Amino acid sequence: MSQQTGFEQGPIRPPSEANSLLIRVTRNCPWNHCAFCPVYKGTRFSLRAVEDVISDIDQIKKHIQRIQLTTKDGVIDRQSIQLLWNQIQAEEEASFHAALNWFSNKMVSVFIQDANSLIVKPAHLVTILTHLRNCFPEIKRITSYARSHTIARISQDDLNQIRSAGLNRIHIGLESGSDAVLKLMKKGVTQKDHIKAGLKVKQANMELSEYVMPGLGGQDLSHAHALETADALNQINPDFIRFRSLAIPSGIPLYDMTEKKIFTPCTDMAVAHEIHLMIKNFKGIQSVITSDHVLNLFEDVQGTLPDDQQKMLGIIEHFLNLSPQEQVLFQVGRRLGMIRFLSQLNQPSLREQVQTVCNQMNITPETVDMSIQRLIQRFI
């Protein structure tokens, strides 16, 4: 028997899981060596006891049942919730918040935390998923992060059983399909592992979401990063390809590699060329491309392959063909959260506001790359 640890949620979820209930089955990352990753550095990985996870699910169920009693026509009555809150013990506050948040978001989806839940023994994961489904049969989607290295080593039978128990979407941090980039970044996987894992997830009839990191090859490996990532994804044909651009905060190994000139980061312009090359080389796949991360320069480079391929390439070409001054306005406006789409450059008042900031901060085409690095730090 484990010592009960109380309700827990981890620090990270994908942007697309903002409305999901977070259920933590492991703590931190069992690999934790990726040079670009700041998330779990300095922490130790551990598995949570199955009974603790079950207890978390039961707490959520208890709160949801009480919240449901306060609703009229599905709408929460604030006064009744306040009364409920007044009765909550201190140790139940976190689970009550999680339940209320999930209920407000219609209880559609659950995200299993932390970085690589598939490392849990398949039988244990099946027990947890089955309990979750039994408690909340209305859930449409249960999702988790997983490493390709781990999935490549799970038997197809076990993966199928995990799917049958309810896990129906997996997010994999592919980051790159280039072995040289993966090695430099200490990702601990190869292109072959990525392809094997991706195909197994699809074989298990789970939705597959692959995260790609523009800029990860730096200047030296940008070309290989674009082409070999496209090659890997062409062999996998995932349901989703999600862009999440590289950022380099201090305190991560890649920061030191940059200081020591082992790694030279790409400029925005180089990343734009890189994404263009990658998208141009997607062939024979039907994936949905999303760009829902705040660090991405192009939020509107999204769509479904192959129909939207030319449209996405056109957006990047539009940016590359702007004058240097116009490019600066877009880069700075985007990083300040003032501009989301290239088309907004047509709005005179918005242009004027961004130009004022550029003047105040002395940002010009010559200094923009350094300034962008400073602005990006605000989002990390």
Binding site for ligand SF4 (CB under 6 A): 29, 31-32, 34, 37, 39-40, 115, 147, 173
Return the H-helix or E-strand segment holding 174: strand 169-175
User: What 3-state class would DSSP assign to 71?
Assistant: strand
Q: How far is CA 63 from CA 132, 182, 252, 329, 361, in A?
A: 15, 44, 39, 49, 50
Q: Which is nearer to ligand SF4, 57 or 248 (CB)?
A: 248
Nearest approach in angstroms of CB 306 to ligand SF4 is: 29
Q: Provide φ and ψ at 366, rounded to 5°.
A: -80, -30
Nearest approach in angstroms of CB 151 to ligand SF4 is: 12
Q: Which is nearer to ligand SF4, 188 or 265 (CB)?
A: 188
Q: Which is nearer to ligand SF4, 95 or 190 (CB)?
A: 190
Nearest approach in angstroms of CB 233 to ligand SF4 is: 18
Q: Which is nearer to ligand SF4, 29 or 271 (CB)?
A: 29
Buried b (16+ CB within 10 A) or exposed e, 159-189: bbbbbebbbbbbbbbbbbbbbebbebbebeb
Nearest approach in angstroms of CB 250 to ligand SF4 is: 17
Measured torsion, CA atoms of residues 175, 242, 271, 281, in degrees rounded to the nearest 10: 90
How would you classify the pairing of strands 207-212 and 71-72? unpaired
Q: Which is nearer to ligand SF4, 126 or 295 (CB)?
A: 295
Close Cβ partners of 92 (under 8 Å, ≥ 6 residues apart)? 7, 59, 63
Q: Is the peptide bond before 306 cis (omega within 30 degrees of 0)?
A: yes
Nearest approach in angstroms of CB 70 to ligand SF4 is: 38
Q: Which is nearer to ligand SF4, 34 or 297 (CB)?
A: 34
